Amino acid sequence: MFFGQCEINMVTIQLPDGSKQSHDSGATALAVAEGISPRLASAAIAADVDGKLTDITTPLSDGEHTVRIITSRDPEALEVLRHTAAHVMAQAVLRLYGNDTQYSIGPALMDDFQYGFYYDFDLPEGKSISADDLPKIEEEMAKIIDAKIPLQRVEMSPDDAKAEMKKIGQSYKIEMIDDMLKETPDAKLSFYRQGDFIDMCRGPHLPDTGKLGNAFKLMSVAGAYWRGDENNKMLTRIYGVAFFDKKDLAAHVERIEEAKKRDHRVLGRQLGLFLLDEKVGPGLPLWLPNGSIIRMELEGWLRGELLKRGYQPVHTPHIGKLDLWRTSGHYPYYEHGLFPTMNLAEGEGEDGYLLKPMNCPFHIQIYKSSQKSYRDLPVRLSEFGQVYRFEQSGELSGLTRVRGFTQDDAHIFCTPEQLEAEIESCVDLTKLCLATLGLDDYRVRIGLRDPDSAKYTGKSENWDLAENNIRRVVKKLDMNYTEEPGEAAFYGPKIDFVVKDCIGREWQLGTIQVDYNLPERFDLEYTAADNASHRPVMIHRAPLGSPERFIGILIEHFAGAFPLWLAPVQAAVLPVSDKFLNYAQGVVRALRNAGLRVDLDDSPDKIGAKIRRATVQKIPYMAVVGGREVESNTVAVRHRTAGDAGAMSVESFVEGLLAEKISRGSEPLHVAS
Ligand SMILES: [Zn+2]
Ligand SMILES: [Zn+2]
């Protein structure tokens, strides 16, 4: 009757099940949840509005929207929880250490094995936080949670935002606002206020601090440079983790404990595998005898697989003329990741030399050293090549981040027609490596160029070709993969294998890279069937990635208990007393003659102590010899985990071990008596 009534503003909602709701102007997603059920409304922590994650309390604009209510069961929810946890922690730190504490950044971490969030603080003069202070901060957080303080979103113009931050003396935030304005000058900035605490954040967050619950834990304190730059001030970073459920937190803490037990830096020392010595230099591991055996076995096996696949071995030096790296493009563009150039005295070399960061240019020169015809291709040159990269000292960690390491490298030079079959064969080899070591849980990531970045070399047509070659192969092999722009090498796109170890951590291991660009930069050629000169394509690939890193991960994966074929010592012979030493030496000889690695424990210790020692050293098999064994010409066999395997003849023991070694099994074989 009144036309005016038809113009009342309305919000129309479509829910995931297709049903619709109508609300008055200004309604929130919380009202939508209430319209479904009170239970859903109390479980609601955020909403997906038209595909965008938003606060449950943000008013919906007039018009039509699709709304999905997010509860703790949805995968997006954990990030909202952890974001809120970071804010609550910052509020607690300010309450305890004073309002002149500066806070810089505090993100949620979703892919980190250990941590779920952190916040960086610049504490007032004379104050500091150590691990001992964390329980006190947790207590203060619990008070904030109990108070169920609502989180309110506030939008401000950049000027108002800066004025607000100035008022509360938060200079890092002002710096961040200025940075943001450089990119988007007319940005509206969003802030979240919870009681007396305010923080600049995109959100969304939990509707109130009470929803954070009690499944959170502060885990450690570390120093962190502002913006990660060591010329800036060192801030105090507090790491924590948060879940919706106490059980999830307990499982997480248990996983971390398990990871500590498996730490390859600790096991590396205990088992005599490798050494990092400050006198040698950070990130330059020394391989001890036991670790060297693991490498020797792993590399020896891989060399055999390469020969079967038509690879040819080469060896190249550790340094080369700087100009070579100019041609490849590593220098000067990647100078920050290289060791400094070696400049020789005048007359001894017009240009400097460089420690090699990659093996490619040397292999390229080998390819170029003779005229190639299409009949010679593919040429597959392989080398366990030592390379050097100048990683930041703060980034170094055991064997997994080092400055000097080997690549199980090869470069394949082929015709464009051969390329996809060669990529496929590289995928096959990488899968074989992972399967052989029991690393069966992995995903595949395709690293593409970032179209907006200038760091890539070569023509865009070449990049299109290479990216499509890779896509066709992974599709043909029916592999699960994700594409990640910006993750390519500077000369070409790549396939990376991201492996999950037995406690759920992810590691990037094998890589396969397709490259049309270095053949151009180095002017590579072959004579095709048409007698004309053509350009080959290159593949750079490393199925393990690097033996250092790979073995570092294997140490943790196996918790130091390597399968028999890799174990530095495969069997320990343990005489019950001196009386049986002669017999024991005979057993040792029989095992050694069969090519097995054996230790004889001839110490005066009791047999129980000898067994314990061999177990701690994670030696797969023990052969105990005493009076009964000497009489029956047998050994009493124990496996380090499976326990007693009974008495058997020395010949059967040798045969059983050899069978397990050849199979490369990671589980003990049943040793026939
Ligand atoms: Zn936030
Ligand atoms: Zn290469």
**Do both 475 and 553 map to the same domain?**
yes
* pTM listed for this prediction: 0.77
CA of 292 to the centre of ligand 2 (A): 25
In the annotation, is 414 catalytic?
Answer: no
CA of 62 to the centre of ligand 1 (A): 26
Which ligand number lies closest to the CA of residue 412?
2
Q: Where are the alpha helices (DSSP H) in 123-271?
A: 134-146, 158-167, 171-183, 246-262, 264-270
CB 338 within 8 A of CB 354: yes
Rounded CA separation 533/372 (Å): 10
Q: How confident is the model at residue 346 (pLDDT cuts 50, 70, 90)?
A: low
Task: Spell out the residues 6+ positions from residue 499 whose beta carbon is closer than 8 angstroms to its own.
Answer: 434, 439, 441, 442, 506, 507, 508, 509, 553
Query: Per-residue pLDDT for 541 more than 50?
Result: yes
Helical axes 171-183 vs 158-167, angle rounded to 10°: 170
- Catalytic residue (one of 372, 445, 449, 494): 494
**Do both 178 and 236 map to the same domain?**
yes
Of the residues 54, 70, 86, the one at which a domain ends: 70
In the annotation, is 407 catalytic?
Answer: yes
What's the one-letter identity of residue 551? I
**Do both 99 and 235 map to the same domain?**
yes
Query: Per-residue pLDDT for 234 more than 90?
Result: yes
Which ligand number lies closest to the CA of residue 542?
2
Q: Which residues surround ligand 1, an ion (CB under 5 A)?
A: 83, 201
pLDDT above 90: percentage of residues in the chain: 76
Domain annotation covers residue 103: yes
Chain centroid, CA 612 distance in Å: 34
Q: What is the mean pLDDT of the chain?
A: 91
- Looking at 486-495, 582-591, 605-614, which range is the least confident one? 486-495
Domain annotation covers residue 535: yes
Q: Phi and psi of 600, rounded to 5°? A: -110, 125
**Do both 420 and 512 map to the same domain?**
yes
Q: Which pLDDT score is estimated for 632?
A: 94
Rounded CA separation 542/657 (Å): 31
Domain annotation covers residue 671: no
- Residue 285: in which H helix or E strand, if any? none
Q: How confident is the model at residue 84 (pLDDT cuts 50, 70, 90)?
A: very high
Q: Which pLDDT score is estimated for 593?
A: 97
What is the side-by-side strand order in the sheet with 598-600? 598-600, 571-575, 621-625, 634-639, 643-649
Q: Phi and psi of 314, rounded to 5°? A: -140, 165
Rounded CA separation 79/324 (Å): 47
- Catalytic residue (one of 252, 431, 540, 549): 540
75 burial (CB, 10 Å; 0-12 / 13-18 / 19+) is: exposed
Q: Which pLDDT score is estimated for 3?
A: 43
* Cα angle 193-197-202, degrees, rounded to a multiple of 5: 45
CA of 412 to the centre of ligand 2 (A): 9
Q: How confident is the model at residue 182 (pLDDT cuts 50, 70, 90)?
A: confident
Rounded CA separation 619/599 (Å): 9
What number is the average pLDDT over the span 414-422?
95
**Do both 11 and 84 map to the same domain?**
no
> pLDDT (tens digit, 9 = 90+) per residue, 268-306?
999 999 999 999 999 999 999 999 999 999 999 999 999
Rounded CA separation 29/35 (Å): 10
CA of 90 to the centre of ligand 1 (A): 11
**Do both 501 and 578 map to the same domain?**
no
Q: Which pLDDT score is estimated for 667?
A: 57
Task: Spell out the residues 6+ positions from residue 364 whose beta carbon is closer than 8 angstroms to its own.
Answer: 328, 411, 518, 522, 524, 538
- Among 72, 94, 115, 121, smallest CA distance to 194 is for 94
Task: Spell out the residues 6+ positions from residue 145 whose beta carbon is closer than 8 angstroms to its own.
Answer: 88, 209, 210, 212, 213, 214
**Do both 170 and 32 map to the same domain?**
no
- Catalytic residue (one of 91, 407, 513, 617): 407
Query: Per-residue pLDDT for 261 more than 80?
Result: yes
Q: How confident is the model at residue 671 (pLDDT cuts 50, 70, 90)?
A: very low
Rounded CA separation 147/281 (Å): 52
In the annotation, is 389 catalytic?
Answer: yes
What 3-state class would DSSP assign to 575?
strand
In the annotation, is 360 catalytic?
Answer: yes
Rounded CA separation 358/547 (Å): 15
> pLDDT (tens digit, 9 = 90+) per residue, 277-287?
999 999 999 99
Rounded CA separation 647/628 (Å): 10
In the annotation, is 148 catalytic?
Answer: no
CA of 109 to the centre of ligand 1 (A): 12
Rounded CA separation 608/615 (Å): 11
What number is the average pLDDT over the span 533-541?
96
CA of 201 to the centre of ligand 1 (A): 5
CA of 489 to the centre of ligand 2 (A): 10
CA of 203 to the centre of ligand 1 (A): 5
* CATH label of the domain that carries residue 44: 3.10.20.30
Domain annotation covers residue 562: no
* CATH label of the domain that carries residue 126: 3.30.980.10
Q: How confident is the model at residue 224 (pLDDT cuts 50, 70, 90)?
A: very high
Which ligand number lies closest to the CA of residue 79?
1
> pLDDT (tens digit, 9 = 90+) per residue, 433-444?
999 998 888 999
What's the number of domains the chain is made of?
4
3 burial (CB, 10 Å; 0-12 / 13-18 / 19+) is: exposed
- Looking at 198-212, 335-349, 358-372, 425-439, which range is the least confident one? 335-349
**Do both 389 and 286 map to the same domain?**
yes
**Do both 33 and 144 map to the same domain?**
no
* CATH label of the domain that carries residue 483: 3.30.930.10
Q: Which pLDDT score is estimated for 669?
A: 44
Residue linked to tokens 């055991």: 398
Q: Which pLDDT score is estimated for 74?
A: 92
> pLDDT (tens digit, 9 = 90+) per residue, 521-531?
999 999 999 99
Rounded CA separation 81/399 (Å): 34
Domain annotation covers residue 414: yes
**Do both 284 and 214 map to the same domain?**
no
In the annotation, is 411 catalytic?
Answer: yes
Q: Which residues surround ligand 2, an ion (CB under 5 A)?
A: 360, 540
Domain annotation covers residue 248: yes
CA of 206 to the centre of ligand 1 (A): 10
What number is the average pLDDT over the span 455-482?
89
Which ligand number lies closest to the CA of residue 83?
1
Rounded CA separation 558/360 (Å): 33
- Catalytic residue (one of 83, 217, 264, 411): 411
Q: Which pLDDT score is estimated for 347?
A: 64
* CATH label of the domain that carries residue 590: 3.40.50.800
Q: Which pLDDT score is estimated for 672?
A: 39
Of the residues 70, 102, 125, the one at which a domain ends: 70
CA of 219 to the centre of ligand 1 (A): 19
**Do both 65 and 96 map to the same domain?**
no
Task: Spell out the residues 6+ positions from residue 393 whose beta carbon is closer than 8 angstroms to its own.
Answer: 282, 283
Domain annotation covers residue 336: no
CA of 551 to the centre of ligand 2 (A): 21
**Do both 293 and 407 map to the same domain?**
yes
CA of 373 to the centre of ligand 2 (A): 22
- Catalytic residue (one of 120, 199, 208, 409): 409
Which ligand number lies closest to the CA of residue 489?
2
Which ligand number lies closest to the CA of residue 382?
2
- Looking at 161-175, 204-218, 441-455, 595-609, which range is the least confident one? 441-455
Query: Per-residue pLDDT for 348 more than 70?
Result: no
Domain annotation covers residue 351: no
CB 673 within 8 A of CB 655: no
Which ligand number lies closest to the CA of residue 362?
2
Rounded CA separation 429/69 (Å): 46
Radius of gyration of the chain from Cα atoms? 31
232 burial (CB, 10 Å; 0-12 / 13-18 / 19+) is: exposed
β-pairing, 197-200 with 63-70? unpaired
Domain assignment of residue 30, given as a range: 3-70
Query: Per-residue pLDDT for 6 more than 60?
Result: no
Q: Which pLDDT score is estimated for 275?
A: 94
Two structure tokens written together for 374: 């299409």
- Looking at 207-211, 387-391, 418-422, which range is the least confident one? 387-391
Q: How confident is the model at residue 610 (pLDDT cuts 50, 70, 90)?
A: very high
- Catalytic residue (one of 389, 431, 449, 618): 389
Of the residues 524, 557, 590, the one at which a domain ends: 557
- Catalytic residue (one of 120, 237, 360, 372): 360
Task: Spell out the residues 6+ positions from residue 464 whose beta carbon is closer than 8 angstroms to its own.
Answer: none
Q: Which pLDDT score is estimated for 392?
A: 82
CB 14 within 8 A of CB 6: no
